[in-house]
Structure 1
Amino acid sequence: MSPETDFFILVLVIGLISSVRSDEFSVLLNLKSALAESNTKLFDSWRSDIPVCKFTGITCDDTGSMVKEIEISNQNLSGSIPFDSICQLQSLQKLSLGFNYLHGSVTDDLNKCSRLTYLDLGNNLFSGVMPQISSLNGLLYLYLNNSGLSGTFPWGSLESMRGLVVLSVGDNPFDETPFPKQLLKLTNLTWLYMANCSIGGQIPAGIGELKELINLEISSNYITGEIPTEISKLLKLWQLELYANNLTGKLPVGLRNLTNLHFFDASTNHLQGDLSELKFLTQLKSLQLFENELTGEIPPEIGDFKQLVNLSLYRNQLTGRLPQQLGSWSDFNFIDVSENFLTGQIPPNMCKNNKMTELLILENNFTGAIPASYADCKTLSRFRVSNNMLSGVVPGGIWGLPTAEIIDIANNNLEGSITSEIENAKRLGQIYAAHNRLSGELPPQISKAASLNTIDLSHNQFSGKVPETIGELKRLDSLHLDNNNFMGQIPNSLGSCDSLSDINMAYNAFSGRIPPALGWLPTLNSLNLSSNQLTGEIPGTLSSVRLSLLDLSHNKLGGAVPESLSIEAYNGSFAGNPGLCSQKVKYFPRCSTSGDSGVIRTLITCLSIGSAVGLFFLAYLRYMKKTSGKEEETWNVKSFHVLSFMEDEIIESVKEENLIGKGGSGQVYRVSLKNGMELAVKHMRNTESGWRRKRNNILVGKEFEAEVETLSSIRHVNVVKLYCSLTSQDQGSRLLVYEYLANGSLWERLHDPIKKKLGGLDWITRYEIALGAAKGLEYLHHGCERPVIHRDVKSSNILLDEHLKPRIADFGLAKIGHTADTSSSSSCTHVVAGTHGYIAPEYGYTYKVNEKSDVYSFGVVLMELVTGKKPIEVEYGENKDIVYWVCSKLKNKESVLSLVDSSMGEAYKEESIKVLKIAIMCTSRLPTLRPSMREVVKMLEEAEPCKLLGIINVSKEKQNHVLLV
């Protein structure tokens, strides 16, 4: 070959290589352009003066000229992917785009990437249907989990991917389908993740042929039937997740063969039988079988499992003892065996390595003493042993556990006293110790447990005086000391506990006067001081408190009953106080005044005339109803507070001229009573006919029952007060009677032009609304016996009273306790409860909800308060919301400050950014990264704005922390 020919070939090769490099660069430049809206530094190196193979996230082949891998996952990318362009990369084998904010559809052009062995589109915001991808027959790794894709998944495409090692398609709202049999041919699979993707039917026996499986997750679906015995062939299994399905039958014979199993979760099913197959699984680290119908004893061999750190078996029918060696070998951190029939003593060494965080054994038949070892368990956050038959002295150190948030020892036979060590319990929020034999005096050091919001020591043998220092508990919401032997005066310092809403000190030996300071408590809702030895007059200050329960009976009180308390609702509240008198309450002698006999005669005459007129009027109404052909409707009334009104007055006021609002669950009326009280009445009525009427009656009834169940027992100043419910005899009409909130909803005050003209909300007011609403949600999540999940937190469900204090309202979608996480049966159609713009991302995919879903929604509300914007606005862009918009502005200090509502002025801009930072944490895409509502309240309290003249001097150090990037 001549030199001229060699030179020609060399030039040709160089030209081809240059052409290839040019094409590769063009494709990547197109990708960069498509993702230009992203807030990332990834593309800083994607420049023309840098070789393609030096681009961040790009790997080339051995020739150094062809792009082999694009690894740009978890880079905060946003935009739509140009698959038609990317698939022009001839040597592309890996495309990794997971954990970003990518949106748009996945197009058929993806099939052109025929050389792909690795594809990750998971944890994004794509929409639409996943196309057929049969041409990607060389795939080894396919990640589509939590991608936002919906519709019918192309399971048939998988048949050509015989080499597939990892398949992850869970957490997507696909159409319901039986267990896809195409998977049974993928015998190389080691990792199969199909949780939360609408798989139904039974687990096929062929699952046993996937013998390379290390991980099998098919939880939160609609799977029925028994766990097939063939699953015991999967000898390499390391994790098996089957929870939240409709599985029945026993744990399969042969399960014992899975000796490599570390994690096993089949909770929230309908499994029966015993646990005998588990005693051979010695490598288990986590065993969760809660909410089933399992019986028999816990195998004693489980106590010898040296790696076990998590045991959750609550809500079954298990009997016998807990293995006494349980937790002795490992860094054991969690046990919940509540609501069974377990007996024997509490294993003493579960916190041997000081790693245990939660000990939950309530509602069983445990006996014996609380082991002294738990007094040294400094990591414990939840210690719940209530409703057992425990005895002996409570170890003193239990009261001083530094990280404990709840101590629940109620309903046992425990003795001892609350020790001064309680001063070390800085995080302690709740003490439940009712119905024991505890004694001694309350130590003054209880005031050092500054996080306390609930104290229930009722039905014990406590004595002595209640220390004045109790008034230092500024977060205290509920104080129950009834049925003890307390004596002395009621501490006047309780008037400093501004959060107190519920006080019960009945059946003690308290003496002296009722502190007038109790009437100054802004949130007091229930006051029971009955059956003591209190003297003096009833403080007039109690007249200014809106009490749903007042009981001062059986004391030694004297003087006049305050006129504002002399109402029918409080008729029994003052019985057993022979020294009281009243001009209105008929059970008491009249207070001595001149001309008394004339007054009595006048009253008798007025009452006689009034009664006659009233009887005539009722008779006339009944006559008119009968003559007009209408049957009289009868109502069933359930009251949840002391009522000062009759149901007739409510029913007659539900008419068009009193209508103030309409919603999805009914109409709301404003009712002004004759006594001056104002109420809000929600009328839930089904007006459909035929089969629709029957169906809608069920839906309306469920919302009505949910709201009644949730609110009937709740007593909190930041949760709307439900006075009573009224149900018509034919179940066609349902009324809920609430307190009336004069300033409407937060939504109206932020976004309604007319309401905004009445006066904008300054930052101090917005902050206090945020903190109050957070405290209401904190109570729902942490202060109730079982967590209440609202499921529709939004600014229109935060109502404002005449002082702009917030109340959480509208509990028609609320769920209580663990039932909120349970999926509906497979025959039901999924309905995402909540409001667009507020719904947490995971709820849209999985239809599962927990407290963290409420936290996300509350984070959106915080963003509304800071920015003044609605959750959904045109300026955010198509399919974008306020969370996306806020996150897109976190580039520098100026753009962050530009987010703050300009109507609030400049003074508090930097202060409001503190709350915006909390909002961003609340709206984290991953639920596990969101704080609890208790943590939110603490952060908001720390973000309290300076109120002096509205002047905020932010130090240079603080300014450096303003940026939220």
Structure 2
Amino acid sequence: MSAATHSRNVTAALSLLCFLSLLSRIKSEELQILLNLKSSFRNSKTQLFDSWDSKTPLCNFPGIICNSNGSVSGIELSNQKLSGILPLDSICQLLSLERLSLGFNSLYGTVTEDLRNCTKLKYLDLGNNIFSGHVPDLSPLTDLQYLYLNTSGFSGSFPWKSLAEMKGLVQLSLGDNPFELTTEFPSELLSLTNLNLLYLSNCSLGGKIPAGIGNLVELVNLELSDNNIAGEIPAEIGKLTKLWQLELYNNNLSGKLPVGLRNLNKLENFDASRNNLEGDLSELKFLTNLVSLQLFENSFSGEVPAELGGFKRLVNLSLYTNKLTGPLPQKLGSWAEFGFIDVSENFLTGPIPPDMCKRGTMNMLLMLQNNFTGKIPESYASCKTLLRFRVSKNSLFGEVPAGIWGLPAVNIIDLEFNQFEGPITSDIKNAKGLAQLFVGNNRLTGGLPEEISGATSLVSIQLNENRFSDEIPASIGELKHLGTLHLQSNMFSGSVPDSLGSCSSLNDINISNNSLSGKIPPSLGSLPSLNALDLSHNQLSGQIPASLASVRLSLLDLSDNRLSGPVPPSLSIAAYNGSFAGNPGLCSPEITSFRRCPPNSGMSRDVRTLIICFSVGLAILLVALAWFTYLRKSEKDDDQERSLKEESWDLKSFHVLTFTEDEILDSIKQENLIGNGGSGHVYRVLLSNGKELAVKHIWNNVDSKLGWKKARSTTPMLAKRGGGKSKEFDAEVQTLSSIRHVNVVKLYCSITSEDSSLLVYEYLPNGSLWDRLHGCRKTKLDWNSRHEIAIGAAKGLEYLHHGCSRPVIHRDVKSSNILLDEFLKPRISDFGLAKGMVQANNGGQSSTHVIAGTHGYIAPEYGYTYKVNEKSDVYSFGVVLMELVTGKRPIEPEFGENRDIVSWVYNNLKNRERVISLVDSDIPEVLKEEAIKVLKIAVLCTARLPELRPTMRSVVQMLEEAEPCKLVGIIVTKDGASKRMDGLDEKKFDPDFQSFGKTHFANQKNT
């Protein structure tokens, strides 16, 4: 071997050694970076990181991709339940990183400028997280091909200019972020000629769609919905011949569909609904591959192109609220597995196309408010998949096919304002899902079949203005969910069924203008939710049942019958003026237009004498009892005040105090008592400086509460509770002493003695949210106040779960533990059951066999696992949101036996009308859509499986977005997947959702 060769070999060996040494050092550094990443996500609920340790080769870490050199080239951690702040300063030190995929997690905080150092990235997915702040300048990331930042809470101005250098971008998804509104459509997008996906829905785009959009000829999916884009759709959009989906929904677009749209012959989904578009639909007749066509709420006119009847892939057609005329193509929907049609609120004529359910897949037929004629085609009687059948306000006639009445899945049958004839058949017993039956203003005849009791889900029956006859069947009393019964203006005879008293949910009864006779059943007075009762214009006789006097009715009309006897005094009020007219046999000393009742009317002299004697005796007994109670109470209060002053007290302050211990002790007296709890009393204290405080007095043991100095009982119960400070006191002090948050009640200090303890709080003059919604201080809360209360309370819980150094589970979240200050700003209070998450889930403290919390608010898993979990607080908060939206208590008689507000809400998520009916009547119609946005969040919070509930951090974000025209919800489907939902419209119903709404989400290939 020559010297030269030897020298070269030595040099090569040294180079190899240097390379291996460098590689080893890089791997060591990359290992440390990944371990730091694991540490940043240490609070995540995932087992993904269990094998991320120094003993495992980093290329074997789950979610890590290495290149041929063994360096980290990809981090694939999407949809892994990650939570934490993204450490980009560390991640971007991975010099070979080309793929960073962290979508569909719960990452929060800001995305820092360190992202600019990830210069080799080709794929970046941070979408579907809960970041805040703006998106940093991305201009150094010139190699990016896939960029997903959608649905992640970004705000501020997006750096559109930084996109200009990303010539290789193939997919760009920025939608569903509250960016600042642009005045011009971003021109930088027009140079990205490699794009096949552009998702910019709901990200505050303004201006007009420029003609340059036609440059993006590779586009397969273009979504610009839910923005502020105006002007016409440019003709150049016809150059995008590869388009599969075009979404322009909910903008301010005007003008006609552009000539050239016909060139998009690969288009399957086209939605330009809720704009100001006009003209005819002739350009659509060439789009033979359409699967879904939605152009509702525009001003289109002319006829529906006949060619649509030959579209062999069309399954969804929604053209409602336009000015369309002429007939529908008779072959419409007969070729494919048709899903739904909604052409309501137009001027369409002719017959209903007969074959839209030919394949047995149709779920909605909505054709109300047109000029359709003819009969209902017999084919729909066997359409077992139909959920909604609505053809009201047309000119249809003939008998309704018998099978329509018994469709097993249908939840609404709406035939009102037509010319239908014939009976409701016994087939209705098969309609197990039927909730609403609307057939008013027709020519229907016959009796209401006994078999109607088989339609057990019925909530509303409206048969008014027909020709029904015979008796009202007693079986109607078996309909436990029935809330509305309208049978007025028919020819029903016989008596009012006594069984109606079993319909515990009934709130509106109208059986006026019939031929009913007999007495008014007293059982109607036992209906707990009855609000309106109209039995006028019949032949009812006998006395008005005394039981009706106990029902609070907003409408009562018993006029024009044959009633006799006295009008109950509680019904003889101005609110019911005219309610008893046309009954010559009635008498009343209070109603001046009626004759006065004779002395013996209604009861005998002996009975009256007995009642008077009993009343006098009872009054004497009550006075004596009250005097005895007062004396005992005064004695007890004196003993309590003496014992407090004699005690030796220890004060611990948690804030700067402006009062003394004596000022507090001197105020613990009966006249300052404002509340009682299971562990003690609450007093209002007015300081000399005018400041008000609330003081909770907690007895340290049972015997102390009874007045003794020390616990003397040796019984197990008292021995267990006696001695030392109470658990409630310890929990409250431990939790509140270190908390500083505007939405958590402030604890100033504790004052303790051997036998009792005092907790001194800020005083909240407006009481609790429960008081404002349901209690004696109930007032009308406007929607803005309710929404702000929801956000504030959510932020308080978010702080407890995510902001404390030792996260806290409240365990008793409810409206009575949300207090309101003078400005109705909320404070989370009462931490007697609170636990730290570590304490609650470690060792023997992981569960308890006493269910903590309040009935109606307790998460379902607590009943069988007893596990303490922050998602239990989320569930309880979801119940509070339902209270705010509906105005209902968590438990109400109208919900039914063993049912609560959550099951009641879920049972009413089947259609738009029922959802809207859930909203508190105190909330104006124009704001009910906004309230429903919050109801959707409540539904997410109360998911039966804890892992499907959002974190409180996500709840805060969604509530903040749930302002007018801003909400984007994530709906969990039956298979556990998640989809974006916004708006609320029966025409956008998706039966796969637990709720419903328009589906709009980035069509990312990687997800």
The one-character-per-residue Cα deviations of 1:102-129 (angstroms, maximum 9, x if unpaired) are 1111111111111111111111111111
Return the alpha-carbon distance in structure 2 between the equivalents of residues 162 and 283 of structure 1: 31
Is 1:501 aligned with 2:629? no
Q: For the residues of structure 2 that align with 1:152 and 1:379, how far apart are their CA atoms?
A: 47
Q: Which range moves more in the overlay, 1-10 or 349-358?
A: 1-10
How far residue 231 of structure 1 moved from its aligned partner, in angstroms, is: 0.8
Cα deviation, residue 536, structure 1: 1.0
2:106 to 73, 78, 101: 101
Task: Find the counterpart in structure 2 of residue 237 from structure 1.
Answer: 243
Letter in 1 for 2:855: W
| SS of equivalent to 2:279 | coil
Q: TM-score, normalised by structure 1?
A: 0.69
Q: What is the aligned counterpart of 1:351 among 351, 357, 370?
A: 357
Superposition pairs of residues 459-474 of structure 1, within 5 angstroms: 459-474=465-480
Q: Can you list the C-alpha shifts for 1:770-817, whole angstroms capped at 9, x where unaligned?
A: 956458867987688585398xx8xxxxxxxxxxxxxx475269535x
- How many aligned residue pairs are there? 723
Residue aligning to 1:811: 923
Contact 1:59/1:68 (8 A) holds in 2: yes
- 1:523 aligned to 2:529? yes
Q: Please identify, of 746-755 and 486-495, the stretch whose mean Cα deviation from structure 2 is larger.
A: 746-755
Alignment of 1:154-193 (within 5 A): 154-177=159-182, 178-193=184-199
Secondary structure, counterpart of 1:811 in structure 2: coil
Q: Residues of 1 paired with 2:983 and 2:37: CA distance?
A: 32
More deviation in 570-579 or 196-205?
Answer: 570-579
Structure 1's unaligned 5+ residue stretches are 597-659, 672-677, 685-701, 707-742, 794-807, 821-848, 885-917, 941-965
Alignment partner, residue 856 of structure 1: 937
Cα 1:22/1:754, change in 2 over 3 Å: closer
Matched, 1:79 2:81: no
Task: Determine the structure 2 residue equivalent to 1:125.
Answer: 130
How do 1:380-391 and structure 2 match up within 5 A?
380-391=386-397
Q: Is 1:312 aligned with 2:305?
A: no
Residues 789 and 554 of structure 1: CA distance in aligned 2, closer, same or farther (over 3 Å) = closer
Distance in 2 between residues matched to 1:520 and 1:756, nearest whole Å: 39
1:447 alignment partner AA? S
Deviation at 1:855, TM superposition (A): 2.6
C-alpha change, 1:310 and 1:853, in structure 2 (3 Å) is farther
Counterparts of 2:292 and 2:331, CA distance in 1: 16
CA separation of 1:293 and 1:778: change in aligned 2, threshold 3 A: farther
Alignment of 1:693-772 (within 5 A): 747=818, 762-763=854-855, 768=891
**2:303 maps to what in 1?**
297
Quick one: distance in 2 between partners of 1:307 and 1:114? 45
Q: Distance in 1 between matches of 2:163 and 2:90?
A: 24
- Report the equivalent of 1:59: 65
Aligned with 1:535: secondary structure? Answer: strand
User: What SS does structure 1 have at the residue aligned with 2:398?
Assistant: strand
Give the drift of 1:10: 4.2
Contact 1:434 1:459 in 2 (8 A): yes
From 233, 255, 261, give the equivalent of 1:227. Answer: 233
Q: Is the 8 A contact 2:360 2:383 kept in 1?
A: yes
Pairing partner for 1:136 from 138, 141, 145: 141
* Shift, 1:591, TM fit: 1.6
- 1:475 aligned partner: 481
1:151 aligns with 2:174: no
Alpha-carbon contact 1:789-1:854 (below 8 Å) kept: no
Question: What's the TM-score, normalizing by structure 2?
Answer: 0.66
Q: Which amino acid aligns with 1:144?
A: L
What is the identity, as a one-letter code, of the residue corresponding to 1:515?
P
Task: Name the residue aligned to 2:52.
Answer: 46
Instruction: State whether residues 60 and 68 of structure 1, in contact with CA within 8 Å, keep that contact through their aligned partners in structure 2.
Output: yes
- Structure 1 position 217 matched with structure 2 position 309: no
Q: Deviations over 1:582-636 (max 9, x none)?
A: 222222222222899xxxxxxxxxxxxxxxxxxxxxxxxxxxxxxxxxxxxxxxx
* Alignment-mate amino acid for residue 559 of structure 1: G
Distance in 2, matches of 1:250 and 1:929, equals 26
Give the superposition deviation at 1:8: 4.2
**Cα distance in structure 2, aligned partners of 1:810 and 1:588:** 36
CA drift at 1:460: 0.8
Q: Distance in 2 between matches of 1:856 and 1:54?
A: 39
- Identify the residue that residue 662 of structure 2 maps to in structure 1: none
Is 1:206–2:197 an aligned residue pair?
A: no
> Equivalent residue for 2:559?
553
Are residues 1:88 and 2:106 paired? no
- CA 1:812 to 1:781, structure 2 compared with 1: closer, same or farther past 3 Å? farther
Structure 1 residue 48, shift from structure 2 partner:
1.8
Q: Is the 8 A contact 1:860 1:883 kept in 2?
A: no
How far the C-alpha of 1:852 sits from its partner, in A, is: 5.6
Where does residue 361 of structure 1 map in the other structure? 367
Once the two structures are superposed, the pairs formed by residues 234-633 of structure 1 within 5 Å of their partners are 234-593=240-599
Q: Percent identity?
A: 53
Relative distance call for 1:40 and 1:9 in structure 2 (3 A) is same
Deviations 1:67-95 (A, max 9, x none): 11111111111111111211111111111
- SS in structure 1 opposite 2:565? strand
Summarize the Cα distance change of 1:522–1:179 in structure 2 as closer, same or farther, 3 Å threshold: same
Paired amino acid for 2:138: I
Query: Offset of 1:441 from its aligned partner?
Result: 1.3
SS at match of 1:167: strand
CA deviation string 1:272-319 (max 9, x = no partner): 101011001000000000000111110010111000000000011111
Cα gap change, 1:499 to 1:196, in 2 (>3 Å): same
Letter in 1 for 2:493: M
Deviations along 1:856-885, one digit per CA (max 9) or x if unpaired, are: 13555899xx9xxxx99xxx8xx676999x
| Residue from 788, 804, 807 that aligns with 2:916 | 788
Q: Go from structure 1 to structure 2 and tell me whether the alpha carbon gap of 1:290 and 1:486 turns closer, same or farther (over 3 Å shift).
A: same
In the alignment, structure 2 segments of 5+ residues that lack a partner are 603-763, 788-813, 821-825, 834-851, 859-889, 959-970, 996-1007
Q: Are the counterparts in 2 of residues 272 and 292 from structure 1 also a CA contact under 8 Å?
A: yes
What residue identity is the alignment partner of 1:133?
Answer: L
Letter in 2 for 1:321: P
Partner of 1:699: none
Secondary structure at the residue paired with 1:815?
Answer: helix
Contact 2:566–2:601 (CA under 8 A) maintained in structure 1: no
Contact 1:788-1:815 at 8 Å conserved across structures: no
Whole-Å separation in 1 of the counterparts to 2:972 and 2:352: 42
The Cα of 1:334 is off from its aligned counterpart by 0.8
Residues 756 and 26 (structure 1), Cα distance of their counterparts in 2 relative to 1, 3 Å cut: closer
Do the aligned partners of 1:413 and 1:436 also contact (CA within 8 Å) in 2?
A: yes
In 2, Cα distance between equivalents of 1:783 and 1:194: 29
Equivalent residue letter for 1:788: I
Measured in 1, the distance between the counterparts of 2:485 and 2:318 equals 32
> Equivalents in 2 of 1:211, 1:920: separation in Å?
34
Between structure 1 and structure 2, the one with the greater Rg is: 2
Q: Is the 8 A contact 2:440 2:463 kept in 1?
A: yes
Structural RMSD (CA): 4.0
1:784 and 1:336 map into 2 onto residues whose CA distance is: 14
Task: Tell me the alpha carbon deviations over residues 939-964 of structure 1, each in whole angstroms, 9 at most, x when there is no partner.
Answer: 99xxxxxxxxxxxxxxxxxxxxxxxx
| 8 Å contact kept, 2:168–2:194 | yes
Inter-partner Cα distance in structure 2 for 1:261 and 1:435 = 43
Structure 2 residue identity aligned to 1:406: I
Q: Deviations over 1:747-791 (max 9, x none)?
A: 45997769999xx9842697526956458867987688585398x
Inter-CA distance 784–354: structure 2 relative to 1 (3 Å threshold):
closer
* Deviations 1:441-491, CA, capped at 9 Å, x for gaps: 111111111111100011111111111111111110000011111111111
- How far apart, CA to CA, are the structure 1 residues paired with 2:249 and 2:108? 30
- Higher RCO (CA-CA < 8 Å; seq separation 6+): 1
